[in-house]
Amino acid sequence: MNSFTLQELEDDNLVDDQHISDIDDFIDDVEEQLHAIEDDIKSVTSYKLTPEESNSLSIDAKLKATVTSRTYDAIAREAQKKALKNYQQFLSPELSTLLINHANIQREYGTANDHKTNDWEIDTSTASDLEIERAVIRLRKKLTHINSEIEMISQENEKNNEKLQQIYSQNEKLEQMKNEQINV
């Protein structure tokens, strides 16, 4: 299939000015139709707020009601990025250093980033005494963190069991009241 550029066609006199203006008109018509379709989509996906709604809704709800969902999501993402950037700019250098140190400590001594194998093993054949000592200290800290997590989980479990018992007792009372009303 042969393809020609507009310049080649003009050079060969295969296309005259009338054809070029017809093509330009066609492109303009297609663009107008595209804008009309976009306007139709916007009219379906968003709606006008009444004055009562405008006064009673929050700014977030007003924005969500008047723009398309994709536009709203883009605006929300941009606002989150700006808020995070401004928050980080206003942090003191000491606090940002503390946050970085905290992340490093969690990565080093926490258990969330552990792999399934070899994170708890120390290769004594290739490691120096200093490396072995550091690994032992790191593993002890991990064990301390695990023990504290276990204690917190057991405390939460006790609280949840108490709440469950309260729910059971309330259900029993409701069943008794229901049975009493049926019997009366």
The position carrying tokens 């990565």 is 107
Question: Do 145 and 110 form a contact (C-beta atoms < 8 A)?
Answer: yes
Q: Residues of 35-53 as b/e, b for ≥16 C-beta within 10 angstroms?
A: eeeeeeeeeeebeeeeeee
Q: What is the pTM of this model?
A: 0.33
156-183 pLDDT, tens digit per residue, is: 999 999 999 999 999 999 888 888 888 8
Cβ contacts of 17 within 8 Å, gap of 6 or more? none
The confidence band for 1, taking pLDDT boundaries of 50, 70 and 90, is very low
Residue 155 pLDDT:
92
Q: Output phi, psi for 47, to 5 deg.
A: -145, 160
76-134 pLDDT, tens digit per residue, is: 888 888 888 777 777 766 777 777 887 877 777 666 555 555 566 777 788 888 888 88
- Residue 127's region, left for phi above 0, alpha for psi from -120 to 50, else beta, is beta
